[in-house]
Amino acid sequence: MSVPSSVVGVLLAAGTASRFGDDQKLLAELDGEPLVRHAARPLLDANLDGVVAVLGDERERVAAALPPDIETVHNPAYADGQATTVARGARAAADRGADAAVLALGDMPCVDAGTVAALVDAFQRTGSDIVVPTNEGRRGNPVLFGAAHFDALQAVGGDRGGRALFDSYPVERVAVEDPGIHLDIDTEDDMRTLAERCAE
């Protein structure tokens, strides 16, 4: 499914993953591939007009693990929290003249490309500037933000990231048959659990 050329994907992949152990979490292997490569694939498969990954901790190693079609930008302030990575991603989308950006997390390997396409479709049909997926009534990731929010995303603080805007602006909820929107990895135990669930 093709989508407008003004919608880009932004993969947030800059964190230190301090709860995961000694190695960089995004490089841990799931089904024979680095976690971050799994997380990037739905953005690529949804035929967005480009995908950019925001990198920080061990950025050279993480960049090498990404598919070659993905651009990278550096967030030098990554240790200050997720909001700095969201801000860098919003700036990258704005620099590319995008009308919207789908912000995805680098530690969520089980999201379906159809979910990304559903967010873009809702953006096109409804004109909503914030579109979130839901599964079994619960909100998940990734999230689409229209260009009207790029400046606000660059100004958020703390670890809430784009969620800080949910209380202030209308949010379009799109139901998807994709439990992967809730499955992220924080610890090595999470990796083992998700390996089983992704294989279901």
| Max mean pLDDT range (46-50, 158-162, 186-190) | 46-50
Residue pLDDT, tens place only, 24-50: 789 988 888 999 999 999 999 998 999
Residue pLDDT, tens place only, 113-133: 999 999 999 999 998 999 999
Half-sphere exposure (Cβ direction) of 98: Cα atoms closer than 13 Å: 31
**Higher pLDDT, residue 190 or 94:** 94
Query: Helices 35-45 and 113-126 meet at what angle, rounded to 10?
Result: 40
Give the residue-averaged pLDDT of 74-87. 92
What is residue 72's predicted lDDT score, i.e. its pLDDT?
Answer: 97
Q: Which of 121, 145, 128, 140 is nearest to 8 (CA)?
A: 145
The rounded distance, in Å, linking the Cα atoms of 46 and 112 is: 9
Is residue 103 within 8 Å of residue 83, measured between CB atoms?
no
**Higher pLDDT, residue 81 or 16:** 81
What is residue 41's predicted lDDT score, i.e. its pLDDT?
Answer: 96
pLDDT band at 1 (very low <50, low <70, confident <90, very high): very low
The domains of the chain, with CATH numbers, are 7-198 (3.90.550.10)
What is residue 18's predicted lDDT score, i.e. its pLDDT?
Answer: 58
Distances (CA, A) of 168 to 57, 125, 130, 164: 31, 22, 11, 8
The rounded distance, in Å, linking the Cα atoms of 144 and 133 is: 9
Give the residue-averaged pLDDT of 151-162. 81
The two tokens of residue 31 are: 């089904």
In the chain, pLDDT over 70 holds for what percent of residues? 89
**Higher pLDDT, residue 84 or 1:** 84
For residue 157, give every residue at least 6 positions away whose Cβ sits within 8 Å of its Cβ, in sequence order, or none: 81, 83, 164
**Higher pLDDT, residue 99 or 32:** 99
What value does the mean pLDDT of the chain take?
Answer: 89
Is residue 101 within 8 Å of residue 145, measured between CB atoms?
yes
What is residue 3's predicted lDDT score, i.e. its pLDDT?
Answer: 44
